[in-house]
Amino acid sequence: MKQLLKVFFDENRVSNIIRFVSPVVLVLIFFLFISSSPGFCGTQIKKAKSIHIIPIKGEVGPAMAAFVKRAVLQAKNENAKIIIFEIDTFGGRVDSALEIVDTLLTVDKNVSVSYVKSKAISAGALIALASGSLYMKKGTTIGDCAPISYSKDGVQEMGEKFQSPLRAKFRALAKRNGFPQVLAESMVSKEKEIIQVVKGKTFHYFEKEAFNEFSKDKKAEYKSLKTIVKKGELLTMDDAEAKDLSFSKASIVDLNQLFDFLKIDKNDANLIEQTWSETIAGYLIAITPILMMIGLAGIYLEFKSPGFGIPGTIGVICLVLALSSQYMTGLANYTELLIILAGIILLAVEIFVLPGFGIAGIVGILLIFSGMVLTFQDFTLPNPEMPWELDIFIHNIISVLAICTFSMLLSILAFRYLLPYIPIAGKGPFLNTTLKNSHADSYESMQINIGDTGIALSLLRPSGKADFNGNRVDVISEAEYINKGEIVKVIELTKSKIIVEKKEA
């Protein structure tokens, strides 16, 4: 135990760990500090206004969800009387869309207004129905929210297991905001035929099969009009149809006309836009797998070559960029970042302190792998009630495995074709030595014997160079890494190897 503690707390080894881990910690703290500082993810409004416009445009994803959450919080903090969500999207990730919907539901329905500027398709339709009222620009469309997946066979519509919870969400939003419930559900599933009937002067909508099961007396109360959604089709409406079917309150020309409908002064409206940090985070999210791949490859190269040089610096920067973008968009929090940091520390301990490859290294790799998977999602384990989370979870595991595989390949290619041509990369396992100090003598002619002592001329991890009586030879450390300048002792000689250990003082 005493020997183990001595090895573990050896000053040189601890300094190696600190040297390797400290840049990761410092850069990570820097990004977390600026990302949580005032003005980094928010904007300072000189004069608070009562009308706030929040654009929801482009692909629905984690970056958009984070922006909408921040923008709604800003609007609520400024006591907004009306929050207009300006929608222009073909949709995107289901989990991000549901997160945006949950954010919109925190706003009083008398305050929130959805304005379809161009299109609200798929996840965009789900978001549009989350507001208390809906207005559509002339010529725009809304609907078609069937969950789909991409496979080798192309786009595939997902089954009832995925459609059921989405229908429930559409039904709940329609009930909350006064939209026709069965029509809202028909945006998700196309198995049922929806008909329009009239009772007195009021229009009603039923599934045809359910209407046919009514008694004759109850059927007689209604006058059948027409089929709105045919079986095998999804409901998609233009602005006029959405108004006729009681979704949209009006078809308008532009925002100015919307202000007139809402009886508000356009000069009291404030457009909340993405900050530069949110824009950058959105771009980084798209290339996070590439950043992680380069980051892991850089750190691996640093492990394999002494000194903290270009590969380690690039690796740390790429990893921190990837993790900070996940943090800023809400996919990762301090927990995931600490898990990855703990994994890096354990891996450094395994490499710089403990000989061989054991528990510390395995646990470190598992922590880094788990932390990376968690940074790609906003949940820990998939919720059975949200089946798409299992697909996301599996996809993330495969993605991280692919990242690790390609990072290893990238590091091998860098070893072979890149690092040998970087003069400031430091000494490493390259074929770039000369014959200046080479000898054709045998160990016997050099008079090297078991028990002789010498000086390590390089870091022995575990192989390297040592000097014995003026002879520069290749040696191998038996059970530990030995720093340059340490006194070593020969403990074994073979035909091709000199085995040494650190000589105790």
| Rounded (5°) CA angle 35-53-277 | 20
324 vs 42, 221, 281, CA distance in Å? 16, 61, 8
β-sheet bridge partners, residue 251: 136
Buried b (16+ CB within 10 A) or exposed e, 255-284: beebbeebebeeeebbebebbebbebbbeb
Cα distance between residue 167 and residue 299, in whole Å: 46
Which stretch of 157-161, 297-301, 416-420, 481-485 has the lowest confidence by average pLDDT?
Answer: 416-420
β-sheet bridge partners, residue 489: 453, 501
- Structure confidence at residue 425 (pLDDT): 46
| Rounded (5°) CA angle 349-454-447 | 135
- Coil, strand or helix at 50: coil
In order of start, what are the domains of the chain with their CATH numbers?
2-36+285-425 (no CATH), 51-155+235-274 (3.90.226.10), 433-505 (2.40.50.140)
Q: What is the mean pLDDT of residues 93-105?
A: 92
pLDDT band at 194 (very low <50, low <70, confident <90, very high): very high
Q: What is the mean pLDDT of residues 373-390?
A: 80
- Structure confidence at residue 447 (pLDDT): 73
Q: What letter would DSSP give residue 60?
A: B
- Structure confidence at residue 40 (pLDDT): 47
Residue 372, pLDDT > 70, answer yes
> pLDDT averaged over the chain?
80
Global pTM reads 0.68
**Around Cβ 474, how many Cβ atoms within 10 Å?**
11
Strands (E), 145-268: 148-151, 154-157, 194-199, 202-207, 223-229, 236-238, 251-252
Tell how far CA 25 is from the center of its chain.
20
Q: Which one is predicted more confidently, 444 or 75? A: 75
245 vs 206, 208, 242, 248, 456, CA distance in Å? 13, 17, 5, 8, 84
pLDDT band at 56 (very low <50, low <70, confident <90, very high): very high
pLDDT tens-digit series, residues 230-264: 988 999 999 999 999 999 999 999 999 999 988 88
pLDDT tens-digit series, residues 37-47: 444 444 444 45
Residue 441, pLDDT > 50, answer no
pLDDT tens-digit series, residues 204-238: 999 988 888 888 888 888 888 889 999 889 999 99
